[in-house]
Amino acid sequence: MEPVLPFVDLAASPEVQRRGEDLGAFEFTYRAEITNVYPLTAQERLYQVQLVDPKQRQQFTFRPGQFVMLEVPGIGEAPFSITSSPSRHGDIELCIRRVGNLTNFLARVERGIHVGIRGPFGTHFPVGRMAGADVLLIAGGLGIAALRSPILAVLENRSRYGGVDIIYGTKRPSGLLFTYQYDTWRQFDIELDIIVEQPDPGWTGPAGLITKVLEAKIARANGSMARRTWAIVCGPPVMFKFVCSMLISAGVPMERMFVSLERRMHCGRGKCCRCNVGSTYTCLNGPVFDYWTVMNLKEAI
């Protein structure tokens, strides 16, 4: 049976108008519908989620790197990065891997079910500040879920940036996400490098770790990264640690590197203390941090 959310009409609420500045507004749950579901791999699916109320849909804005809490009543609630372009407002996409209670339930649903959406929460990748510079976007594994929104934001404003390079790596070719989009992305005068750690017999691309591609890129840049490059790195901490060390060696300042630090989260708004690294709330002060801040957060990585 389809779960039904208690519905609160938020459209006329002044709180909704202030959303973005006022943390109090984050208490609200938007009623939303899963309008489409696409399998991406055996473990991940792409969910298109639309806020039901057209006014709320229009007012809902977010920035690349922010996340929402998705709730299925009676099943659970969890944070997911918004993977679609910020120009899409309240018609968002989420790329979700099945790992537990909620995500296994979602792996079985089809379009048409109603869910609750809270947010958007957290800090964002400052793609606006990167205008005029070269942008390097690097993802490992499911990290592409958080990276796709800044990728789309940069591509939609392609003329504002210098060189745009995307490096994406997974363990196996079967784990690659968004394969159907690579050709489209390449049409925007970018370099897209895809690398897998364990190639199967049909794989014709490069094999190895992301750092192998990055090493070659740094060598080709011949010192120019220090002056021109901003980087966004999404993936497991072990991966962004190595990637960021290489970028530091190439002269890229830590303040121009951004990572997403994902911790277990419950409330998403600084109330439950589940997501803390020391005294820092990763739901409020993060999940996006510049690498300088991460290096100064004890036990962050």
Ligand X SMILES: Cc1cc2nc3c(=O)[nH]c(=O)nc-3n(C[C@H](O)[C@H](O)[C@H](O)COP(=O)(O)OP(=O)(O)OC[C@H]3O[C@@H](n4cnc5c(N)ncnc54)[C@H](O)[C@@H]3O)c2cc1C
- Count the site residues for ligand X by CB under 6 A: 21
Please choose, out of 3-11, 92-100, 131-139, 260-268, the segment that lies near ligand FES by the rule CB under 6 A: 260-268
The answer to whether the CB of 192 falls within 8 A of the CB of 186 is yes
What minimum distance in Å lies between the beta carbon of 98 and ligand X?
A: 7
What is the helix, strand, coil percentage profile of the chain, to 5? 30, 30, 40
- Residue 145 partner contact from ligand X, ligand FES, none using kind-dependent CB cut-offs of 5 to 8 Å: ligand X
265 touches ligand X by CB under 6 A: yes
- Cα separation, 143 vs 137, in Å, equals 11
Q: Which is nearer to ligand X, 94 or 225 (CB)?
A: 94
Place of tokens 């979700």: 96
Please choose, out of 123-131, 164-172, 237-245, 263-271, the segment that lies near ligand X by the rule CB under 6 A: 263-271
Instruction: Provide the 8-state DSSP code for 285.
Output: T
Instruction: Tell me how crowded residue 200 is: count the other CB atoms within 10 A of its CB.
Output: 9
Instruction: Tell me how crowded residue 183 is: count the other CB atoms within 10 A of its CB.
Output: 9
53 touches ligand X by CB under 6 A: no
Q: Which of 3, 76, 199, 253 binds ligand X (CB under 6 A)?
A: 76
Q: Which is nearer to ligand FES, 132 or 278 (CB)?
A: 278
Helices 237-249 and 210-221, axial angle in degrees (round to 10): 20
100 touches ligand X by CB under 6 A: yes
Residues near 8 by beta carbon (within 8 Å), at least 6 away in sequence:
28, 29
67 touches ligand X by CB under 6 A: yes
Sites of contact with ligand X (CB under 6 A): 67, 76, 78-81, 95-97, 99-103, 142, 145, 262-265, 287
